[in-house]
């Protein structure tokens, strides 16, 4: 299991995070966690992310036949993303979540919490990346939970992660690594 978890790049970063313990049957019933109150803007961003992911294949095909049309469609997508980001930044919901340092990869993450969970528990997770205000609703399985000073250090493996969510996490990791490289070059 450790081999599998370590096949992904890991980064440290800040996210707004909320979680709830759920049953395995809850995960089978719902593709996305339903435990959290989320605004229509949050769900809109998730739907736009999924549509962008779904359209990538068609856009590549269009680019092969007509690069000008593909460039135009990419610009339209960038406009939609800009509007979505502006809406996300103005959404009060993001301001109400607590922000913390996490360690994340495409396979899972670790974070601190003031409440313990049991190894093997299933969690519903709500994540919002601070830099992009991109939100995700995911499920995870607790791999470990140990005391860490005043809190508990929890490690989870993502479960049944939608491909569009995996792509969002991967892009976040790549952009964070690129930012770190640029910062290192400046010093």
CATH number for the domain that contains residue 120: 2.40.10.220
What domain count does the chain have? 1
Question: Would you place residue 85 in the very low, low, confident or very high pLDDT band (cuts 50, 70, 90)?
Answer: confident
Question: Would you place residue 7 in the very low, low, confident or very high pLDDT band (cuts 50, 70, 90)?
Answer: low
Question: Would you place residue 96 in the very low, low, confident or very high pLDDT band (cuts 50, 70, 90)?
Answer: low
Q: Does pLDDT of 133 surpass 70?
A: yes
- Position 10 scores a pLDDT of 78
For residue 98, the 8-state DSSP code is P
Q: Does pLDDT of 1 surpass 50?
A: no
Please, is 81 exposed, middle or buried when counting C-beta atoms within 10 Å of its C-beta (0-12, 13-18, 19+)?
middle
Cα 8 to Cα 18: distance, rounded to the nearest angstrom: 23
What range does the domain containing 7 cover? 2-186
Q: What is the mean pLDDT of residues 122-138?
A: 86
Q: Does pLDDT of 68 surpass 70?
A: yes
Phi-psi region of 60 (alpha: psi -120 to 50; beta: other; left: phi over 0): alpha
Packed helices 67-90 and 40-65: angle between N→C axes, nearest 10 degrees:
170
Tell me the average pLDDT of the chain.
83
């Amino acid at each position: 299991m450790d081999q599998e978890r370590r096949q992904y790049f890991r980064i440290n970063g800040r996210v707004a995070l909320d979680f709830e313990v759920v049953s395995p049957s809850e995960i089978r019933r719902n593709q996305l966690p339903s435990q959290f109150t989320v605004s229509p803007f949050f769900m809109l961003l998730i739907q736009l992310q999924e549509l962008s992911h779904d359209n990538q294949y068609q856009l590549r095909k269009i680019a092969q036949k007509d690069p000008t049309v593909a460039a135009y469609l990419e610009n339209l997508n960038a406009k939609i993303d800009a509007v979505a980001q502006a809406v996300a930044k103005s959404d009060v919901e993001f301001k109400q979540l607590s922000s913390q340092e996490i360690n994340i990869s495409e396979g899972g993450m670790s974070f601190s919490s003031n409440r313990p969970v049991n190894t093997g528990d299933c969690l519903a997770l709500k994540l919002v990346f601070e830099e992009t205000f991109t939100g995700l609703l995911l499920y995870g399985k607790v791999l470990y939970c140990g005391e860490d000073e005043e809190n508990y250090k929890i490690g989870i493996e993502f479960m049944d992660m939608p491909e569009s969510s995996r792509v969002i996490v991967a892009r976040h990791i790549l952009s964070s690594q690129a930012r770190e490289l640029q910062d290192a070059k400046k010093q």
